[in-house]
Amino acid sequence: MNKFYTTTAIDYVNGAPHIGHAYEKILTDVIFRHFTQRCDNAFFLTGTDEHGIKIQKTAAEKGITPKELCDKNAQMFTDAWKALGIDYNHFVRTTDDYHEKVVQKIFKKLVEKGDIYKHSYTGLYCSGCEAFLNEKDLTEDGLCPDHLKKPEVVSEENYFFKLSKYKDAIIKHIKQNPDFIVPAFRANEVLNQLENIEDISVSRAKSNVTWGIDVLDDPEQVIYVWIDALSNYITAIGYDPDGSSEQFKSLWPANVQVIGKDILKFHSIYWLAILMALELPLPEHILAHGWITIDETKMSKSLGNVISPTSVLESFELTQPDAFRYYMSTAAPCGKDGNYSDDDFKEKVNAHLANSMGNLLNRTLSMLVKYFDGDIKPEFKVNTELSELAEKTTKEVMHHFDYYEVQEAGLKIMSLVDAANKYITDSEPWALAKNGETDKCGQVLTSVLDVMCVVSSLIYPYCPNIAQDMAKQLSYDLSIKLQDLKADNIKVGHLIDKADIHPVFLRLDSELADKTKKKG
């Protein structure tokens, strides 16, 4: 691969981030970190969506300006992503000056091309969705199905984008590229939505909405949602209708754009049409992930079960986010819904990270020190069957990531850990040492430690801090590209002293981790 560009949806800053936002960012970060292990030019974009009537109203209620509200809430998102180890390259805000100026140029270009036109319109507007709805989209009681509120009848003269003009081209693209939408089963949902697609409003009258980007040459109109928010994916990397940057030329089209399933329509229909109108290449993949429930219940403010992204770290007194990252990114099969519960979190990370992976490394290194003073001797050859399994697993993990199957890849890594655990249990190196079969004992320990080098590379996207700790104890170079990863990573010579051995992850209920005083 010569480059990898990934994006997330940009979060609306009308409130604080929650665990659903965190799931998408962690999932994308794991994908991004994996592909940094396969190419040198990798770029990860995330950010916030900061215009619209909800921001305007909330700011007015708080007695502050919309920009002050955006500044305060955008900071909450960046703070949360820092705590969760989200390693993005750029954080775009739609109030950024460069973004606003390019959005105005994009809008003007599409007006001049005839793809945006002015039109008087009366429609049903949901302020929660910030969208005009069709009657067929409403519930039997005439309510917005997402917000369960009656949309208001709005009459305005707005600018409209000729979405219907690109209907056939979008249908053709989806049908000719069955892997464009991930998972593939969501493609039919989009094709059904395309059947009755209509042109969409892309501006609002300033008499109704003032907090937005002004339309050039028409000061009574502000650019509304779609041209503004969706364009962030190209403005943030240097797109400009008057001449784009070298960065844009090297990164676009995006390899994968990660979004929630609830906004798939906007990204697989509206966004594609805008790109077609701009005569730009289309993204290679749109990954629509599922939702995260809490204790099998949908998150709801009224139920009081909305969890902040960092509350799990605080609750379990975790100084690093790795356990939460691993749990969340493996919470659901590709595109399906997942669930969070405290009990399941504790059980899963204890089983996988502490008992299986961490304990295997710790006891193997301890035996190496006990029996061989921490030395790897030339006669300690690695087990061919185990090293071949490690190489095979690496290829399988890469294959899963090619299809953005993050949970599936994580389980494959753990299956390699399980195989190494079984090998050491079956081989009984402690018995070999006791019986004087030192070369065989050394071979077993070296074979397992060699596999743990591979595991540290594969688990790095999920658990970067744990992986780095593992690699340090193994004197292993984590910068090796996955396609170059082979067996024989453990070098002959002195590897480690007893004082340098420590658990890479403590059980959440261990006394060492000081979790005995945890609530409940």
Neighbour tally for 349: CB within 10 Å: 22
Give the burial class of 168: count Cβ atoms within 10 A of its Cβ; 0-12 exposed, 13-18 middle, 19 or more buried.
Answer: exposed
Q: Which residue in this structure is represented by tokens 């784009």?
A: 244
Of the residues 129, 150, 173, 518, only one is catalytic, namely 129
- The dihedral over CA atoms of 468, 473, 475, 479, expressed in degrees to the nearest 10, equals -10
Q: Are 164 and 127 in contact (CB under 8 A)?
A: no
Q: Are 238 and 248 in contact (CB under 8 A)?
A: yes
Q: Going by C-beta distance under 8 Å and a sequence separation of 6 or more, which residues neighbour residue 72?
A: none
Neighbour tally for 428: CB within 10 Å: 14
Q: Are 129 and 47 in contact (CB under 8 A)?
A: no
Structure token pair of residue 412: 């494959």
Tell me which amino acid residue 291 is.
W
**Residue 39 annotated as catalytic:** no
**Residue 147 annotated as catalytic:** yes
Whether residue 151 is preceded by a cis peptide bond, meaning omega within 30 degrees of 0, is: no
Distance between CA atoms of residues 299 and 293, nearest Å: 6
Check residue 180 and report its DSSP letter.
S
**Residue 346 annotated as catalytic:** no
**Residue 129 annotated as catalytic:** yes
Of the residues 136, 301, 517, 519, only one is catalytic, namely 301
Of the residues 34, 51, 70, 126, only one is catalytic, namely 126
**Residue 301 annotated as catalytic:** yes
Distance between CA atoms of residues 153 and 123, nearest Å: 6
Distance between CA atoms of residues 253 and 265, nearest Å: 19
Q: Three-state DSSP class for 9?
A: coil
Q: Are 118 and 136 in contact (CB under 8 A)?
A: no
Of the residues 18, 25, 34, 352, only one is catalytic, namely 18
Of the residues 90, 147, 392, 422, only one is catalytic, namely 147
**Residue 352 annotated as catalytic:** no
Distance between CA atoms of residues 367 and 382, nearest Å: 16
> Mutual orientation of helices 322-329 and 464-474 as an angle, nearest 10°?
120
Alpha-carbon distances of 198 from 124, 230, 428, rounded to whole Å: 14, 18, 69
Sign of the torsion angle spanned by Cα atoms 313, 319, 320, 323: negative
Of the residues 34, 51, 144, 441, only one is catalytic, namely 144
Distance between CA atoms of residues 215 and 107, nearest Å: 7
Distance between CA atoms of residues 311 and 387, nearest Å: 40
Q: Are 490 and 375 in contact (CB under 8 A)?
A: no
Of the residues 62, 149, 249, 298, only one is catalytic, namely 298
Backbone angles phi, psi at 280, to 5 degrees: -110, 150
Distance between CA atoms of residues 222 and 224, nearest Å: 6
**Which residues have a catalytic role annotated?**
18, 21, 126, 129, 144, 147, 298, 301
